[in-house]
């Protein structure tokens, strides 16, 4: 049995490195986007970072514990599987993992009483799933680096 992600990724001694790596992962994923939608995503992300340099790090810090909870069942299953690469494990289960991770934001939106935000989120959710799925190889490497 592998150690719980909560005990490894969220350990006070590791958190600064984990947060920095998650922010680097987000930066890399945005940077890799191409085409018109990629250009729009890059522009929006750049604008957010300029408006408030702490927005992305604060969001990571606030959401990371919930993401860890959503990843835990996959991590435990991976540990029992004997497979060597958590990236490959996550990628092979892309739809389920992406839906689990997006469940964090789904739950927050569901709890919101702002209809306009819910509507916008609903239109962006399918693209978000695609982006999360594309990020799974990097995410798997990040988790395995800090938790193994």
Phi, psi of 10 (to 5 degrees): -100, 10
Report the percentage of the chain scoring pLDDT > 90: 74
Global confidence as pTM:
0.91
Report the C-alpha gap between 148 and 86 in whole angstroms: 10
Question: Which residues, other chains included, contact 73 with Cβ-Cβ below 8 Å and sequence gap of 6+?
Answer: 100
pLDDT tens for 59-94 read: 999 999 999 999 999 999 999 999 999 999 999 999
Domain boundaries, the chain: 5-147
């Amino acid at each position: 049995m592998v150690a719980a992600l909560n005990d490894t990724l969220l350990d006070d001694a590791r958190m600064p490195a984990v947060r920095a790596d998650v922010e680097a992962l987000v930066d890399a994923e945005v940077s890799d986007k191409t085409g018109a939608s990629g250009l729009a995503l890059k522009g929006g992300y750049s604008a957010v970072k300029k408006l408030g340099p702490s927005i992305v790090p604060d969001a990571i810090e606030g959401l990371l514990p919930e993401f860890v909870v959503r990843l835990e069942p996959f991590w435990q299953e991976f540990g029992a599987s004997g497979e060597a690469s958590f990236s490959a494990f996550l990628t092979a289960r892309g739809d389920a993992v992406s839906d689990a991770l997006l469940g964090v934001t789904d739950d927050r939106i569901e709890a919101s009483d702002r209809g306009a935000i819910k509507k916008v989120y609903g239109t962006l959710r399918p693209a978000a799933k695609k982006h999360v799925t594309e990020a799974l190889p990097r995410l798997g490497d990040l988790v395995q680096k800090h938790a193994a």
